[in-house]
Amino acid sequence: MTEHAVVIAGGGPTGLMLAGELALAGVDVVIVERRASQDLDGSRGGGLHSRTIEVLDQRGIAERFLSAGQVMQVQGFALIPLDISDFPTRHNYGLALWQSHFEPILADWVGELGVPILRSCEVVGFAQDDSGVDVEISGGTSLRAEYLVGCDGGRSLIRKAAGIDFAGLDPSTSWMIAEVEMDEEPEFGFRRDSVGRHALGRRQDGEPVRVVLTERHVDHTGDPSMGELREALVAVYGTDYGLRSASWISRFTDMTRQAASYRHGRVLLAGDAAHVHPPHGGQGLNTGVQDAVNLGWKLAQVVIKTSPESLLDTYHAERHPVGARVLHNTMAQVALSSPDDRHQALRDTMTELLSMDEPRRRIAAMLSGLDIHYDLGEGPPLLGRRMPDLDLHTADGPTRVFTLLHDARPVLLNLGEPGGFDISPWANRVRFIDAKHAGGWELPVLGEVAAPPAVLIRPDGHVAWAGDLTDPELPQALATWFGAANPAH
Ligand SMILES: Cc1cc2nc3c(=O)[nH]c(=O)nc-3n(C[C@H](O)[C@H](O)[C@H](O)COP(=O)(O)OP(=O)(O)OC[C@H]3O[C@@H](n4cnc5c(N)ncnc54)[C@H](O)[C@@H]3O)c2cc1C
């Protein structure tokens, strides 16, 4: 039986990102993926939010995605546009980039890091014991791993086989989605009727027309046929615009569910396997990628044995509330999209509110992921929040914070007098960097915050501690997050 430290079931956005994070930390990881290639049968997710672009920037790969898509103000709350160009981030925008283009770029990075992907293979079952997991693969083979991570999408076999409850709401609405060729130029944009909102769009000339139609009924099994699509178009628009062919026809609903636990022993869940919700606000892929960036370094440290297994519990503690908030805001967006007059009155009210700066900033920071605040206890405002990408001057020349995170290792950044702390007990795990930053510190929504003399940054870019290097809590924070002091190093 082949052995690996970590087996990832599913090589979608979440599984790929997690594999990259583990490989950067030197962990032996393999992806088992059902699809024969990275190709998707439709374009699926429409793009990236600011915080996802930031986490890719933290790994030095943002430019690959930015150059493949279109930078724009993509954010909307129930399609009410939200501009983030005044946000304190280098990436004060979103990226329009279809998931079908995003995945191959991410897969190339994972390939460069040497992660094997077992394609056309499925995880069909597993059994865990005290020391590891036997992972059963289609075709009668199996793998042995210390940990198994289910990144296998909303219908996750891993979640079901682990017996993890997937609590939430059944669907109330169903939408048909398709990518089609039409003989006539259709009416692009949104249309509302008594059934709901419908949309026809094309991002670029030469691309197929993307159709999203609210359906009258929610109880469907399987994908719609060409005939059903034609019928639905005629019902809404009075014509099918000369519908010729469809490269993709599918449907999605507003089913909203979340795994009760993101961990069961040696089995973990991330991405859609842990949470499903309607695509309103375009948050699914983004949340999955960020789950992976939260889990990756923690799992690596546990596998490499610098940290105890209990570090993994912080993954659920930090990411479950983030997922719950996404589910909550998508439910609100679905309600605001209801076509009846009362909901439309509510929508008008919300549109007015979101034209004001403070509400806009709050809701936009939530959708973009820039306001994520892990609860790490009492402390300065930076604690648990994302570290801003400051311009720095170091002995090696100018750099910026995100560049220091490219290799996914923690950084103790000293902005006060050089030296002043003996990092040697953690020197094999944590980089100590003396630097200067001219200018203030500004966080999304919170605004200006006091500049701390030093800050301990986790590999996911969140602040684990901030203060003076003489603070007795600093050695405690280092030990909590990056393992016990080891004077031998
Ligand atoms: C119409 C639509 C629009 C969307 N728009 C957006 C958007 O704009 N922005 C956004 O952020 N999100 C959007 N999403 C959501 C986004 O597509 C998902 O959240 C995202 O794909 C989740 O990634 P994942 O890797 O967790 O799961 P998936 O993408 O579902 O990947 C799971 C992978 O696991 C594989 N797999 C499944 N079972 C097994 C098994 N047993 N063994 C091995 N492999 C297995 C599958 O083949 C697949 O490759 C949209 C979704 C839809 C349907």
CA distance 48 to 409: 24
Q: What is the pLDDT of residues 380-390, one digit of tens each?
A: 999 999 999 99
Q: What is the pLDDT of residue 51?
A: 98
Q: Are residues 153 and 8 in the same domain?
A: yes
Q: Which of 51, 285, 287, 319 to mutate to test the pocket of ligand 1 (most atoms within 8 A of CB)?
A: 285
Same domain, 135 and 184: no
C-alpha–C-alpha distance, residues 183 and 209, integer Å: 11
* Beta bridge pairs of residue 168: 257
Q: Are residues 266 and 317 in the same domain?
A: yes
428 SS3 class:
coil
Same-domain check for residues 164 and 198: no
Distance 278 CA to ligand 1 centre (A): 12
Q: What's the angle, vertex CA 14, arms to CA 391 and CA 168, rounded to 5? A: 115
Q: Is residue 309 part of a domain?
A: yes
d(CA 223, CA 233): 16
The confidence band for 43, taking pLDDT boundaries of 50, 70 and 90, is confident
| Predicted local distance difference test score (pLDDT) of residue 488 | 52
pLDDT > 90: what percent of the chain?
A: 94
Domain membership of residue 72 (yes or no) is yes
pLDDT in tens, 413-464: 999 999 889 999 999 999 999 999 998 999 999 999 999 999 999 999 999 9
**For residues 163 and 265, is the Cβ–Cβ distance under 8 A?**
no
Domain match, 110 and 28 both: yes
What pLDDT is recorded for position 120? 97
Residue 177 CA, closest ligand 1 atom number: 1
In a domain, 385, yes or no: no
In a domain, 376, yes or no: no
Q: Give the CATH number for residue 247.
A: 3.30.70.2450
The DSSP annotation for 385-407 comes to BBPP--EEEETTEEEEHHHHTTT
* Domain range enclosing 442: 391-482
Same domain, 186 and 237: yes
224 and 356 together in one domain? no
- Tell me what pLDDT residue 489 has: 46
- 232 and 347 belong to one structural domain: no
Token pair of 348 as six digits? 């008008």
Q: CB of 483 closer than 6 A to ligand 1?
A: no
The CATH number linked to 107 is: 3.50.50.60
Tell which residue, 204, 191, 172, has the closest CA to residue 233: 191
Under a CB-based contact definition with an 8 Å cutoff, are residues 429 and 456 in contact? no
- Whether 194 and 311 map to the same domain: the answer is no
Question: Which residue's CA is the nearest one to ligand 1's atom 1?
Answer: 44
The pLDDT assigned to 74 comes to 87
15 Cα nearest atom in ligand 1: 25
| Structural domain contains residue 375 | no
- Whether 7 and 114 map to the same domain: the answer is yes
Question: pLDDT of 195-250, one tens digit each?
Answer: 999 999 998 888 899 999 999 999 888 889 999 999 999 999 999 999 999 999 99
* Closest-CA residue to 54 (of 20, 82, 15, 95): 95
In a domain, 340, yes or no: yes
Share of the chain above pLDDT 70, in %: 99
Q: 288: CA distance to ligand 1 center in Å?
A: 9
Is residue 487 domain-resident? no
CA–CA dist 96, 47 (Å, integer): 5
The whole-number pLDDT of residue 203 equals 83
Residue 249 sits in the same domain as residue 261: no
Which residue's alpha carbon is nearest to atom 14 within ligand 1? 45
pTM over cut 0.75: yes
Does 62 map to a domain?
yes
CA of 292 to the centre of ligand 1 (A): 13
- The domain tally of the chain equals 3
Gyration radius of the chain over CA positions: 23
472-480: average pLDDT = 97
* Å from CA of 285 to ligand 1 middle: 7
Nearest CA to ligand 1 atom 31: 12
Which of 219, 253, 287 is the last residue in one of the domains? 253
CB of 200 sitting under 6 A from ligand 1:
no
* Domain shared by 266 and 240, yes or no: no
Amino acid at residue number 470 = T
pLDDT score for 37: 94
